Amino acid sequence: MLQTNFCKIELQNPLVLASGILGTSIDLLKRVEFNGAGAVTTKSIGPIEREGHNNPTVVEIENGLYNAVGLPTPGYLNMNDEFKRWNEIKVPLIASIYGSSIGDYVKITEHLQKYKPDIIELNISCPNKDDGMVFGSSASLTKELISKVKAVSEIPIMPKLTPNCSNIVEIALACETAGADAICAINTVQKEISHPKLNAPLLSYGKGGISGPIIKEIALEKVKEIRDVVEIPILGVGGITTGKDAIEMLKAGATLIGIGSGVYFRGMDIFKKVADEMKKIMQKEGIKSINELK
């Protein structure tokens, strides 16, 4: 009922662990697999060791999370022991990467080829690093980046887009023209939130990105906008915590559904819960396969 296909990859269900929520540890990814995820995404892997921001980096807000973790990473050259264990994950694995230059993305993509992730996700949309959204805000840079990465990769390439840009449609079109195999949308929505009484920023970085139910409508709207202009499949992320949300995301035009903050709100077994809720809704509506929802 929930089986699907994305970039010629078979998935038991369309529910994907979103990047960053549970790090890169294989043991955590295995637990997510055990709890029913159709695929898992690693935390974004960067070019060189980076500590990320000081605490507080993640706080709960009404209907969501507010974070500026700052992309901590050991650096890809220090992670081979972890990459070697990727084959222990039996569901498709999406490797998320980021860089400060086109050269960074190309080098990491080349390095990852031998570890055979199923998809490489290009994080060009992080609002919590000074240059995190440079690529995702410019159609010409996005196009150049994707064509150079595609030239060195036999693995499907999926850029992850930011809603914090003036025209996401233009960026999505640039992705498709440059040969991207799929699009992931959206990353967190940038905000500057202060403590109401202290009149000081809630997070040490001063600003951050919001996620969870509070951004669901924005995510659905962006996915619809992208769906209207591109043919390539979309992994829709943002605010999905229930089966009803997941079906809305499919109806908006996504083929796969990412779940991030939902793990915090409903636990690691959110994937099983959402899959069961989806099946119940589909049975009630007489829908036999999620392909009918497209």
Question: Which residues would be at the binding site for ligand FMN (CB under 6 A)?
Answer: 18-21, 43-44, 58, 65, 67, 69, 71, 96, 123, 160, 187-188, 211-212, 215, 237-240, 258-262
Closest to ligand FMN by CB, 4 vs 190, is 190
165-194 residues labelled b (16+ CB within 10 A) or e (exposed): beebeebbbbbbebebbbbbbbbbbbbeee
> Looking at this protein, which amino acid is placed at residue 8?
K
Question: What distance in Å separates the CA atoms of residue 186 and residue 165, rounded to the nearest whole number?
Answer: 11
- Least Å distance, CB 68 to ligand FMN, is 9
Question: What distance in Å separates the CA atoms of residue 167 and residue 165, rounded to the nearest whole number?
Answer: 6
- Least Å distance, CB 65 to ligand FMN, is 5
How far is C-alpha 212 from the chain's CA centre?
13
Which of these, 279, 280, 209, 278, lies nearest to 249 by C-alpha position? 278
Residue 247 backbone phi and psi in degrees, to 5 = -65, -40
Closest to ligand FMN by CB, 122 vs 230, is 122
Closest to ligand FMN by CB, 233 vs 260, is 260
Question: What distance in Å separates the CA atoms of residue 125 and residue 45, rounded to the nearest whole number?
Answer: 14
Residue sitting closest to ligand FMN (CB)? 20
Question: What distance in Å separates the CA atoms of residue 269 and residue 277, rounded to the nearest whole number?
Answer: 13
Closest to ligand FMN by CB, 134 vs 287, is 134
- Check if 175 is active-site: no
- Least Å distance, CB 70 to ligand FMN, is 9
CB distance 232 to 256 below 8 Å: no
Per the residue annotation, which of 126, 165, 175, 184 is the catalytic one?
126
Question: What distance in Å separates the CA atoms of residue 13 and residue 53, rounded to the nearest whole number?
Answer: 35
- Least Å distance, CB 103 to ligand FMN, is 20
Closest to ligand FMN by CB, 155 vs 235, is 235
- Least Å distance, CB 212 to ligand FMN, is 5
CB distance 213 to 219 below 8 Å: no
Pure H helices in the chain: 26-34, 80-84, 102-112, 139-151, 168-177, 216-229, 243-252, 261-266, 270-285
- Least Å distance, CB 158 to ligand FMN, is 11
Closest to ligand FMN by CB, 168 vs 237, is 237
For the annotated catalytic residues, the residue numbers are: 126
